[in-house]
Structure 1
Amino acid sequence: MRKIVLVYLLMIALPAVLVALGGLHLVRREVLRLHQDEQAHAAQAGTRLVARAQKELLETARRLAAEPSPSDDRLVRNTFEWTGQDGLVRPRRETATRAELDFLNRFSGFLTMRQPWLARNAPDEGWKATDHGPHGELLYWRRRGAGRVVGFELRMQEVANRLPPEKPYVADTCPVWLIGGCLVALLVLSLVGGGAGLLLFARNARQESRHKTELVTQAAHKLRTPLANIQLYTEIVKERRYETESERDEALDAVAGESRRLVEIVLDKALFGVLDQPGKESDHA
């Protein structure tokens, strides 16, 4: 009985352990896959972000007039002019605003050094990033001939705000759901099989108990007659209710016969009970 119960428990526990281990393995693989997909998506998003930022900045540069001047566009923070003789000067000669003075103080040293437009084979226009300010700044410059360069300063935060938002990344469906479904199905089948086995075991135990009860009832019914006869003839002999010696001998013979019958019934039931137990048939074969 204990072996059967242990087998049914193993039928339930073993698939559960397998499902747990398989699920842990699938989760680890899924986390690794999502991490790799997220890195790939971030790289693609970065490439798209740079392309959009470049497009936005080029469009802003094209909107400026040939002579940069203060603009109502919040993207443009300041404009500047640089000449080979004077270095950094204000694009216009009127009184400088506070923002222009701040720009001159911040970028005077930067723009008096060797600039990218002075390099050999330098393009007619370009960009220069700086680390001024909390978010950094971006300078756009363009040649205007005779050693004259004009440009403007952009707000990086404003540039970032104008970029279209990225859609939230959603990982592609992974085919591991099929394996997970098979593991869950295995667990369900093991639970159903184990439960059915336990129910079958309980039914067999109930039938065995009922069978033993019937055996006891039948044995009691068969033993009732010999016991009653033995009691009757014993009382006849004990109370001397016989008239001749032959009647007494008949009573004693009847007691002996019923005793043998009683012994046969008891031995028969005992042997049947032993043979009815599992594993006892071979011992009495």
Structure 2
Amino acid sequence: MIIMNYNWIDKTKYTIDSFLLMDRWIIRMIISQTQNWDDLRVNMSIALAKRPYVAWYCCHKAPEIKEIVDKLLENAPVNISEEMLRNAEEFIVEALETDIVYTDPETMNSNCDYIINWTEDKLLELADFSDKIVLDVGSGTGRLAFTAAKFAKRVYASEPCDMLREYLRDRIKREGITNMVVLDGTVEQIPFEDSTFDIVMCAHVLGDDFENEVKELERVVKNGGFILDCMGEDNKKRNNQNDKLVTEALKYFNNRVELVGIIKDIENM
């Protein structure tokens, strides 16, 4: 498997101790990947064997992957040197940087180019947020949510990563924001009733299961409301993927305009 290196984090400054800050769903996703990725499996065996407290955490945080972890430990080499451990961890950190960066919101804000290259006017030109009830799905460090909160009646920031939720709450408290609420939730299961929001927005969220994800966005937006999919671009060009996503979006919404109002996709968001 080819590793796509975005250079968001310095692999020499992280270890698999970062796993201790991860949520159940990320642990499950990472450990499950070892079953189909030989290099990750070998290096994960070394790292978990040398850092048994991380293996313990993974098994208790996500008990459904305990059997996989036990197998990794069983197949780990003996007499693991510090150099072997360091090499293994650097491989893991580099291979999983898009997951590990979620444990470090400050680094995410300063190094992820789709965040640092973004300006709030790119969102505000899409819709009028004045006095609206808004949902930001997969809020991350909150660039969309905090922008909308300047104008909206209330903004709900739904984010499945605990470290990012706490980052959002800290900033809300620090800045004295009174119209923004942070909660756990995913695009697959948005924790709100049908037809709740005037505007539902997301960025770098749709795509894994596009049709079902959009159906969930449709479910919670009011009739005549807006769904804003801010696709964006990072430092690895993904023109073909973006073209496909736009095509699927247009195809999907052709027969649903009366239900959701409008969807807009913006490059370089």
* TM-score, normalised via structure 1 length: 0.20
Tell me which protein shows more helix as a share of its residues: 1
Which of structures 1 and 2 has the larger relative contact order (alpha carbons within 8 angstroms, sep 6+)? 1
* TM-score, normalised via structure 2 length: 0.21
